[in-house]
Amino acid sequence: MVDLGTLATPAVAFVSAEQDAPAAVISASHNPYHDNGIKFFLPGGLKLADAIERRIEAELEKMQPGGTSAAVPRGASLGRLEQDEGALARYEKHVVGCLEGRDLAGMRVVLDCANGAAYASAPDVLRAAGAQVVAVLGAEPDGTNINHECGSTHPGALARAVLAQRADIGLAFDGDADRVIAVAADGQVVDGDRILALLARDMHQRGLLGGGTVVVTVMTNLGFHRAMDPVGVKVHTVAVGDRYVLEALDANGWSLGGEQSGHIVFRSLATTGDGVLSGLMLADLVRRMGAPLHELAGNVMDKYPQVLSNVRVARREALAAAAEVWAEVARVEASLGREGRVVLRPSGTEPLVRVMVEARTEGQARECAGRLVDALHRALGEAGPGPSPGQG
């Protein structure tokens, strides 16, 4: 085994592709430290398919006390641990090289590294690209402060720092640095939908958007879809999860996809979402366009009001067969017509059904979401109180 040290998830994926070796990352991703888990990559830096993950989980269950597996390695059979001290430098060189000789000279940048894995690599990459990194937040990880009121899920501190430093752009990563959320010079937060819309339109204009298509998830704002059609960009929608974005890109030979959360995949440059790479490419776009980010982001799409509800239910597994719920969904969709959208999906880890409604006005979206919440409670029952909803 090779120890890469503290390295962001996309950097580990880069080394996995470079060495054609499987890899594992221990990370809390965008969550608190106590939600640490393990991400696996196949040789080549690609995430595992759902079926393979389920097989691994089944084998792990067998290894637990009282399990049936006799193949648990022990002693010398555990293998040897080596260090790869050059992995970070190779990854940083690769990311900066994606600018193809361009630079960010003169740009004032603020970073929020979420007290996570990008605390060293993100400042290094932006400085190597020529940017003036005027402040770095969330760069003092202590093992328990990852994502705590900082990073891409809490961009408020970054917005204040951008204004205080009179920066051109701020970039907030999550703990394992596979996501990025931006802040414009006026303090406006720019989410993954707007970032992806800017990148898709730019790549299409430059002839770099494979198949003229961008891949998004069902949570992507309806305004994104409306904005892509007039500029000739086709939109392909998949289930929530960057792995499904990547699968669609690979299956069709496309080059760009992403999520509202800030996962952006440049398939010709990386095997997974990379927040530092995405932030670098966004800063490069702003520099090439010669206009402030808030102006570019404001013009690229009109965002539809979006209401999200995490509905605690007693029987989430019965959602698919809940005729009353789907009848109400049909009625809501009919009332919205082409000016709105509904998404219902069960959580993968909690007794929740996640409801998303978009409409032309926030009031209409909230009214429709309320109808669906009531229908879910009638059909599936109400679960008791529990911990704060996660992202399953």
Catalytic residues: 29
**End-to-end alpha carbon distance in the chain:** 30
What contacts 355, CB < 8 A, 6 or more positions away? Answer: 307, 308, 309, 310, 311, 342, 343, 344, 369, 372, 373, 376
DSSP 138-161: S----SS-TTTT-GGG-THHHHHH
Indicate the SS3 state at residue 257: strand
Closest CA to 172 of 181, 164, 163: 181
Rounded distance between C-alpha atoms, residue 201 and residue 198, angstroms: 5
CB hemisphere CA count around 341 (13 angstroms): 17
φ, ψ at 49 (rounded to 5°):
-70, 160
Give 3-state DSSP helix, strand, coil % of the chain, rounded to 5.
Answer: 45, 20, 40
- Residue 318 identity (one-letter amino acid): A
| Helix residue spans in the chain (DSSP H) | 9-19, 50-63, 87-97, 121-128, 156-165, 192-205, 222-228, 242-252, 275-289, 293-300, 323-336, 362-380
Closest CA to 236 of 267, 276, 205: 267
